[in-house]
Amino acid sequence: MPHYNYVRVETSAPEGTVFPQPKFSPRGAVPGKPGDRSAFSFKINTRLDGKHGRTGVIHTPHGDIQTPCFIPVATQATMKAVTIPQMKDNGAQALLSNAFHLYERPGEAVMNAAGGLNEFMNWDKPTFTDSGGFQVMSLGAGFKKTLAMDIEGMKNDDVIADGKERLAFVDEDGVSFKSPLNGGMHRFSAEISMRVQHNIGADIMFAFDELTTLMNTRKYQEESVDRTFRWAQRCVAEHKRLTEERLGKPYQALFGVVQGANYEDLRRKAASQIGSLDFDGFGLGGAIEKNILGDIVSWICDELPENKPRHLLGIAAVDDIFAGAENGADTFDCVAPARTARNGAVFTKDGRWNIKRAALKFDFRPIEEDCDCYTCRNYTRAYVSHLLRSGEMTGATLATIHNERFFIRLLDDIRASIDGGYFFEFKESYLARFYAKGSKG
């Protein structure tokens, strides 16, 4: 491994820090004792006929999550352009923050001293953090927005996006990467990821994994699956050590991540390996081609223990959500609803469309007639269009509120359809209407 001069990372608060009084009382946190693991559990309610899909409840120290469920992404302990009370009004059951970005700023020492992620951002419901695996891939290969790529005829283990510099380097022990903020060199490993995520303090966190691109060769995908399994073993051991060491904290559930790209045998092997370890749940990760997403989720769920929750990482296209829920995913997250909103794209049952169009200047209807979000209850298409075209920040807020509510409500409706026994009819009619005009998902 090359020699790097790594940046010194602050892992504890400086002497003299005045620590805030906690606002919340999470289940299973007892002064002087490790977090009680029984505060986290999963119960299946209704199974979908002939498929892995189901409804259920994830119990966490900060409350319950009714599944299937959409988890909005509060990357840096906040939703971009939207406040915590607005997300509660939107019906969000949980939020997912980014361990890599919180590690860079404000830093794990600040998060820990604040009392953890919930206390820091004043959110009294469940929280997730990812492991940093996606950011490592993104820094290495330069792909920022999506993992769904056209890869015909392209196989290259040195793949790099046009105009990008490789900023992350993988070895057996972990990953060295150059900070996109200041250019300093940092190190992530299974143990470091566990330390960072324990200090951040989310209810659910993910094991450190290697995320490949679909352009990587079969040989590299095989090596990566085995390496991710070895890292997963180290994550489980370090997680148990830190849980015993960090007294008075609520138990943090640890999810293992299943990789394997588009290969059925690798997905099944990875699921069997990760499923054999003492995880509380599982992340379904990796670059996936859309046309076989449902198959991949089904292959994985064939091999995983049924009595633990499964989170499909980074998916928010409408057809992909239906495919994921049908084939066994319990929770979903993606930055797309908020990111597209800031660019003027809004989601409705009649598809995704651009609200900044000049034709909407005199359209005084809500974004969606039957939507119950704050934006649609109070504002018109003409107003939101005006704000976004004028560069007003409130436009991003109102569009984001609507888009996040769209996906939260979609998963709520899918959950009701499974419980009510009409999922397949609901799926067929919903997708037919949404894509009738050729909308992007």
Give the DSSP letter string of 60-110.
ETTEEEEESEEEEB-TTSSBTTB-HHHHHHTT---EEEEHHHHHHTT-HHH
The domain boundary residue, chosen from 274, 308, 334: 334
- pLDDT, mean over the chain: 92
CATH of the domain at 137: 3.20.20.105
Do 329 and 367 lie in one domain? The reply is no
pLDDT for residue 149: 38
pLDDT for residue 152: 47
Rounded mean pLDDT of 215-243?
95
| 402 marked among binding-site residues | yes
Q: What secondary structure does DSSP assign to 177-238, as a single string?
A: EE-TTT--EEEEEHHHHHHHHHHHT-SEEE---PPPPTTS-HHHHHHHHHHHHHHHHHHHHH
- The domain in which residue 298 lies consists of 43-334
Residue 270 lies in a domain: yes
Do 225 and 126 lie in one domain? The reply is yes
Do 88 and 183 lie in one domain? The reply is yes
Question: Bigger pLDDT: 186 or 68?
Answer: 68
Is the Cα torsion angle 12, 15, 20, 24 positive or negative in sign?
positive
| 140 marked among binding-site residues | no
Do 117 and 236 lie in one domain? The reply is yes
Residue 6 lies in a domain: no
Choice among 152-166, 179-193, 332-346 with the minimum mean pLDDT: 152-166
333 a catalytic residue: yes
Is the Cα torsion angle 77, 79, 85, 90 positive or negative in sign?
negative
The domain boundary residue, chosen from 300, 334, 368: 334
Do 155 and 222 lie in one domain? The reply is yes
Do 296 and 367 lie in one domain? The reply is no
| 188 marked among binding-site residues | no
| 133 marked among binding-site residues | yes
| 376 marked among binding-site residues | yes
Choice among 217-221, 300-304, 353-357, 409-413 with the minimum mean pLDDT: 217-221
Residue 232 lies in a domain: yes
The domain boundary residue, chosen from 269, 303, 334: 334
Q: Cα–Cα distances in Å, from 203 out to 12, 61, 102, 217, 420?
A: 20, 7, 16, 36, 30
Do 329 and 358 lie in one domain? The reply is no
Least Cα distance to 147 among 289, 343, 338, 341 occurs for 289
Residue 344 lies in a domain: no
Catalytically annotated residue among 280, 320, 330, 333 = 333
**pLDDT band for position 98 (cuts 50, 70, 90):** very high
Helix (H) or strand (E) holding 341: helix 336-342
- What are 334's strand-pairing partners? 72
Residue 431 lies in a domain: yes
Do 396 and 438 lie in one domain? The reply is yes
CB 360 within 8 A of CB 348: no
Do 75 and 172 lie in one domain? The reply is yes
| 134 marked among binding-site residues | yes
Residue 57 lies in a domain: yes
Q: In what order do the strands lie in the sheet with 331-334?
A: 69-72, 331-334, 310-312, 281-284, 253-258, 204-206, 127-130, 95-98
Do 170 and 230 lie in one domain? The reply is yes
- Asked whether the predicted pLDDT for residue 54 surpasses 70, the reply is yes
Residue 4 lies in a domain: no
Q: Tell me the whole-structure pTM to 2 decimals.
A: 0.94
| 371 marked among binding-site residues | yes
Do 362 and 253 lie in one domain? The reply is no
**pLDDT band for position 133 (cuts 50, 70, 90):** low
What is the share, in percent, of the chain residues with pLDDT greater than 90? 81
pLDDT for residue 29: 98
> What is the chain's alpha carbon radius of gyration, rounded to the nearest angstrom?
21
Catalytically annotated residue among 130, 203, 280, 320 = 130
Residue 144 lies in a domain: yes
162 a catalytic residue: no
| 124 marked among binding-site residues | no
Do 305 and 157 lie in one domain? The reply is yes
In total, how many domains does the chain have? 2
- Asked whether the predicted pLDDT for residue 249 surpasses 50, the reply is yes
